[in-house]
Amino acid sequence: MHNSQNRTPYLDELISYVKNKTLAFHTPGHQQGKGAPKKFADFIGMKALEADITQILGMDDIHQPRGIIKEAQELAAEAYGADYSYFLINGSSSGNQAMILSVCNPGDEIIMPRNAHKSATGALILSGVRPVYIQPEFDPEMHVDHTISTEKLEKTLKKHPNAKAVFVVSPTYYGATADLRTIAKLSHKYGKAFLVDEAWGPHLHFHPDLPVSAMDAGANLSVNSTHKLISGFSQSSMLHLKGKRVDRGRLEGVLKIFLSTSPCSLLVASLDVARMQMATHGRELLTKTIALANHAREEINKIPGLKVFGKEIIGKPGVHDFDSTRLPITAKELGYTGYEVEKILRRHYNIQIEMSDLFNVVALITIGHSEKEIKKLIDVFKKFASSKFKNGSEKSHLFLKRLKKAVELPPHPPQRMTPREAFVAEFKTLNFKDSAGRICSEIVTPYPPGIPILCPGEEITREIIDYLKMELEAGIKIQGPVDPSMKTIRVVR
């Protein structure tokens, strides 16, 4: 990578502004910490507060970058192999919305997997775009959906010649990646823009042993949550553009709608340094990370009753490659739900993993971990597997025993209206258990992973009602509906 990648133009200007002790009469109102409550200032430190500024003279304008943000974004584009990169300060959620709105108009079709993140559903509501869903490939062993198959995609492309774009999620929360190169070729063969929600892949481009990144595979737009796996502060993401299929002017116009006019300088600086760190030291940092993750996987796999998934899942339907820094772990043979494992690890061992579902937990191993911490993780799993947890786990044991038969995800429900039509339609509140056959007008999302089980416009099926009842009993958390306990639901009147 070019020497210029050592530069951090945005951070340097921020440091210089703070050092100059310029007398400030600008936002934010805490005036670089002087007006902040002492409790907060003592906790986060004055330095962080002094550095919390926004778009003043010299700090550039994220809506029309001409100076240090422009320079920092150009460095990011060079580092990621994009033509243009854009800093996002409202996460990949805003990136997904910007991607979809920049290539589709109201009424247009977009081909996308049904297990896309809820921010993509949000984009459909905002835009009035019609989703043509492809069912992702279900893995009965892990009990999760992976990515879409290229065969299903080609069939869909033939059936929907007017669709404007192909949108794909890769990697998934569980680390599976799609066959991006083939999908890029297919999308382009049929004249479509290719968009990738690569929220879980800000590191992929920087190591040859990781799956190919969307930009390298031929995507036209991709979004990375820089905060998820590398050094960005929470909410800081990037959107990359390559090629001529997407109109850059339209994309930049859409971004101006989604971006705050007061970007937090800490977020922007963290994007500047995360890029610098990956471009200059990414390979060595990730070599260590991959080795730590593989070591943890090997050791935890030796513990009876536990299973950590890894590269052996490559080749299953919907798994073209696998990000080995991810540790999807199941303790179902010991009788624990993933929700239980998460709680036990936190309450008894002070370890917090990234997420849990009915059968799995997912631990992220990143550039921030050391050998000592990985050893602790392995030791804790050994203790966990040989302990009997009386509170809660008994319930879980019974719960999984009660399930007995293999649990399948319910079939994705039929789509009766577009997400926007159903979201803005007049609604009626019904008891959820009595709502079969009605059209849902809310987004119903287990969080994490943030994949809606019901999108507005879909028919509520008996299978979904029964499945959600079982998941709620197991401990799933629902986000989105007015009544997250799911006793009631809003349906189209």
Ligand X SMILES: Cc1ncc(COP(=O)(O)O)c(C=O)c1O
Residues contributing to the site for ligand X (CB under 6 A): 91-93, 96, 117, 119, 169, 173, 197, 199-200, 225, 237, 449-450
Q: Which two tokens stand for residue 14?
A: 């921020």
Which residue's beta carbon is nearest to the bound ligand X?
91
Nearer to ligand X, 228 or 490 (CB): 228
Q: In terms of Cα–Cα distance, which of 347, 346, 351, 335 is closest to 385?
A: 335
Nearer to ligand X, 94 or 461 (CB): 94
CB of 423 to ligand X, least distance (A): 19
Nearer to ligand X, 168 or 279 (CB): 168
CB of 461 to ligand X, least distance (A): 24
Nearer to ligand X, 13 or 321 (CB): 321
Rounded Cα–Cα distance for residues 386 and 398 (Å):
18
Listing DSSP states for 7-73 in one string gives --HHHHHHHHHHHHTPPP-SSSTTTTTTTS-HHHHHHH-HHHHHT---S-TTS--TTS--SHHHHHH
CB of 283 to ligand X, least distance (A): 24
In 314-391, beta strands by DSSP E: 321-322, 326-330, 355-356, 360-364
CB of 127 to ligand X, least distance (A): 17
Nearer to ligand X, 50 or 145 (CB): 145
Listing DSSP states for 65-126 in one string gives --SHHHHHHHHHHHHHT-SEEEEESSHHHHHHHHHHHHH--TT-EEEEETT--HHHHHHHHH
Listing DSSP states for 194-233 in one string gives EEEE-TT-TTGGG-TTSPPPHHHHT-SEEEE-HHHHSSPP
CB of 119 to ligand X, least distance (A): 5
**Are 63 and 164 within 8 A, CB to CB?**
no
Rounded Cα–Cα distance for residues 184 and 335 (Å):
42
CB of 124 to ligand X, least distance (A): 14
CB of 270 to ligand X, least distance (A): 13
Nearer to ligand X, 95 or 413 (CB): 95
Nearer to ligand X, 320 or 490 (CB): 320
Nearer to ligand X, 168 or 486 (CB): 168
**Are 221 and 102 within 8 A, CB to CB?**
yes
Rounded Cα–Cα distance for residues 411 and 467 (Å):
10
Nearer to ligand X, 91 or 456 (CB): 91
Rounded Cα–Cα distance for residues 88 and 50 (Å):
22
**Are 7 and 276 within 8 A, CB to CB?**
yes
Q: What are phi and psi of 26, to 5 degrees?
A: -140, 175
Nearer to ligand X, 49 or 144 (CB): 144
Q: What are phi and psi of 355, to 5 degrees?
A: -160, 165
Q: What are phi and psi of 190, to 5 degrees?
A: -95, 10
CB of 197 to ligand X, least distance (A): 5
Q: Which two tokens stand for residue 403?
A: 């399930």
CB of 381 to ligand X, least distance (A): 24
DSSP state of 310: -
Residue type, 196: V
CB of 93 to ligand X, least distance (A): 3
Q: What are phi and psi of 237, to 5 degrees?
A: -135, 175
CB of 342 to ligand X, least distance (A): 16
Listing DSSP states for 427-457 in one string gives EEEEEGGG-TTSBB-S-BEETTTT--SB-TT
Nearer to ligand X, 33 or 419 (CB): 419
Nearer to ligand X, 5 or 93 (CB): 93
Nearer to ligand X, 52 or 145 (CB): 145
CB of 120 to ligand X, least distance (A): 8
Rounded Cα–Cα distance for residues 142 and 159 (Å):
31
CB of 170 to ligand X, least distance (A): 9
Listing DSSP states for 404-434 in one string gives -SPP-PPPPPPB-S-HHHHHHS-EEEEEGGG
